[in-house]
Structure 1
Amino acid sequence: MTDRTIRNLDNLHRSASTARLLNLLRVASDHGHTRAWAEDPLFETAILNRAMIVKHRLRRDELDCFVGRRHVATKIILPIDTADLRAGGRFTFVNQLGFERIMKEGFGLTPDHPDVETLTIIDQLPSLDPFLLRERLRRSGIEPAPCYFAISESDLAQMSSFVEQEIHPLVSLSVGDIAIMPGSVQTLAAKILSGEPGENMEALRVTLRLSADDYQEGIFCWKGFLYYKWVLTSLATEIRDVSEEVANLRPRGRIEPGLMDYLARTRVQLRSRILRTTEEARLTIQVYDTAFAGLSVEGQSGAFRDFLIQAPSMFSRLGEQLGALQHIVSFWRYRFAPGRAPVGVGELIDILMDFEAGLLGYGESDSGHYVAA
């Protein structure tokens, strides 16, 4: 399909990858000159490896593109002219009706091609969160270069001070508060966030008694949990506010008694799920907090070593939960921003059902598809 009216495609390109967007055109622009990008691409097909992949909330006229019911799809956008994104782009949805034919005619890819497998995995994910995406692909034996999983520059800037506060106790334990050199906490934070600590953190690897491979994976997990903790901390107030607004927003127009009862029940269930999901995510992050406190406060490395080894098994569920919560907050703030048109009862029910589906749990959608958050 061709879409010359894709809103703000140029603005979309300027955005780094997020939980909603995987901007491979931006990745190619930033890292296309590197050996890692060339040798370990996400997609073997060059045009796909420069696409923009979006978790897209389906409009009413797009629902018939799929067998079964779903609210969010994975949209592949191929710019018509990468030098002038105002020209718009061609797009398709992963696993829409006729998807195999589109892949064959448009890209020469058969259903068993590795790129089709990768797209299917991405479509099954609840979000494009870089940590969740990396872990899912890795479990399927797909390991692209690290540049595909970078946190956006804006998020990284906001996160840096948070990480510095988190790891200060570890630096203090190592050298003592008085002996902490200016910039030492910032330096360690930068090494953790880089994902490539190398020899500069060899002492910590030795302390944790980890092999080089396990240590590299462990550092990624540490970075991941710091990222998730930051996300949850950043969302905490908004989650609470949105859950209250969900419970109280009244749609415009007359509401049939049956729909009023259904809407009331859905509100209560959704608010409960939002709060329960938030608490479950908090408890998972508390596992990290306890293990890190053992290392940074008590000087006991065993619990933190065990945590780093076990952390990948906790990634998926935590990523699903936070992806769903991020979607709820961001979409609610977008739809009900000042000046937006009042919501009708039908649209409100659709929105609440979409939110609830995203919180049901991985693979529990009523369509047989994974519902994206």
Structure 2
Amino acid sequence: MSDRAVRSLENLEKSASTARVLNLLQISKAHGNTADWGEKPLFKTVGLNTSLIIKHRLRRNESDLFRGRRQVATKVIIPIDGQDLKSGGRYVFVNQIHFERTLMEVFGVPSDHPDVETLRLIDKLPSLDPFLLREQLGRSGVVAAPCYFALSEADLQKMLNFVKAEITPLVQLSLGGAVTGSSSIERMAAKILSNAPGDRMDALGQTLRLDPEQYQEGVFCWRGFLYYKWSLGSMTSNIGSVARDVATIKPVGPMDQAAKEYIARGREVLKGEIVRTCVEVRRTLKIYDEAYAGLTQDGNPVGFRDFLLEAPALFARLGDQLGAIQHIVSFWNFRFGPKASPPGVDELIDIFMDFEVSLRGRDHEP
């Protein structure tokens, strides 16, 4: 690995998991002595279960590693020495050309190992948000310990309350009138959050004339939209706070002219990209809002049916957009929390470069 790649690996190892990074090495250090971690590992292979998994925006020179066109890939980094990240690491992209052969030759994981399917399930997600990661794995029968998913009971309850408020018009529509109690709303909210089949949910699929597979996938992505919509609302103030900090943070140590110019440019670029990405997120969410309003307010199911059919692609787009914002907010708050040491020049440049690549598409590489 290059010097910058090693520094970036060290920065990642010190950080908490985010929407872009699943830090299994840190989780193993924090929970490796607990029964849950030992009995319900995310991966059965020791190397994979102490790796760093990253939703990585591909550079131009990396795109030919895949047969199809994609902008974001799932990168698995296994440190050579978990105690000394300066040693670097070995990595592979999930589903790259010769993926299974590389896993076997470099990491010793055979193609029929259950960890391979777990990696592919993770690759199907647009981001590594703990709520969606847990549900994606759970609906495929992969049950891992709670320590892998940084979800507090308070956040889960806030999410449930948000979903209940969001689906109230749909419950009223399905019951043909006003809702007299909260039990119907809570039951439907629970079904949406669990993606579990049920009479009312199945009936909605039949009304929309969707086959069971289309409907179940659409509802899972609808749930993703609800989660992302809640996430955007819950972190709006944090986005503004981080944007202000980015504009004012000062590194320590000597700084040459090139570094001064890059950091000054980086502040302006990141501010603009954060605003642009938030606008794109709201534009994507508006597609859902309009389709849902058409169903619940105008009695027109066609738009919502189209939304559920398009939901997987829209979900991927929204996850990519919002995942970049979530990553920046989570990483920044973790790295620059109370009593945190100020960054050195090289570290701040690395952070700015990481943020810029996360926010920009392939056509806007820094």
Q: TM-score range by the shorter chain?
A: 0.5 to 0.7
Equivalent residue runs for 1:87-106 within 5 Å: 93-95=90-92, 103-104=104-105
Tell me if structure 2 keeps the 8 A contact 1:22–1:128.
no
2-structure distance, mates of 1:211, 1:299: 21
The alpha-carbon deviation at position 158 of structure 1 amounts to 2.6
1:107 aligns with 2:108: yes
Equivalent residue runs for 1:1-40 within 5 Å: 20-21=21-22
Superposed CA offset, 1:105-164 (max 9, x none): 763537x989669758968987424698799x99xxxx9437579994644333100101
Superposed CA offset, 1:53-75 (max 9, x none): 53379xxxxxxxxxxxxxx9634
The alpha-carbon deviation at position 166 of structure 1 amounts to 0.7
2-structure distance, mates of 1:119, 1:234: 29
The alpha-carbon deviation at position 335 of structure 1 amounts to 1.7
Give secondary structure in 1 for the equivalent of 2:92: coil
* Unaligned runs of at least 5 residues, structure 1: 1-5, 58-71, 81-90, 367-373
Equivalent residue runs for 1:155-170 within 5 Å: 155-170=155-170
1:74 aligns with 2:72: no
2-structure distance, mates of 1:218, 1:151: 25
2-structure distance, mates of 1:205, 1:229: 23
Tell me if structure 2 keeps the 8 A contact 1:284–1:318.
yes
Tell me if structure 1 keeps the 8 A contact 2:250–2:342.
no
Distance 1:210 1:131, change over 3 A: farther
Distance 1:235 1:55, change over 3 A: farther
Q: How many aligned positions are there? A: 310
- Which amino acid counterpart does residue 47 of structure 1 have in structure 2? T
- Number of the residue aligned with 1:345: 345
* Unaligned runs of at least 5 residues, structure 2: 1-9, 56-73, 83-87, 94-98
1:55 aligns with 2:57: no
Distance 1:74 1:187, change over 3 A: same
- Which amino acid counterpart does residue 51 of structure 1 have in structure 2? N
Give secondary structure in 2 for the equivalent of 1:74: strand
TM-score normalised to the size of structure 2? 0.68
- Which amino acid counterpart does residue 341 of structure 1 have in structure 2? S
Equivalent residue runs for 1:179-194 within 5 Å: 179-194=179-194
Give secondary structure in 2 for the equivalent of 1:218: helix
Equivalent residue runs for 1:272-291 within 5 Å: 272-291=272-291
Tell me if structure 1 keeps the 8 A contact 2:130–2:151.
no
2-structure distance, mates of 1:203, 1:318: 27
- Number of the residue aligned with 1:62: none
1:359 aligns with 2:359: yes
- Number of the residue aligned with 1:208: 208
- Which amino acid counterpart does residue 20 of structure 1 have in structure 2? V
Superposed CA offset, 1:325-352 (max 9, x none): 1111111112211211122222211110
The alpha-carbon deviation at position 301 of structure 1 amounts to 0.8
- Number of the residue aligned with 2:61: none
Distance 1:121 1:172, change over 3 A: closer
TM-score normalised to the size of structure 1? 0.67
1:145 aligns with 2:141: yes
- Aligned CA RMSD, in angstroms, stands at 4.6
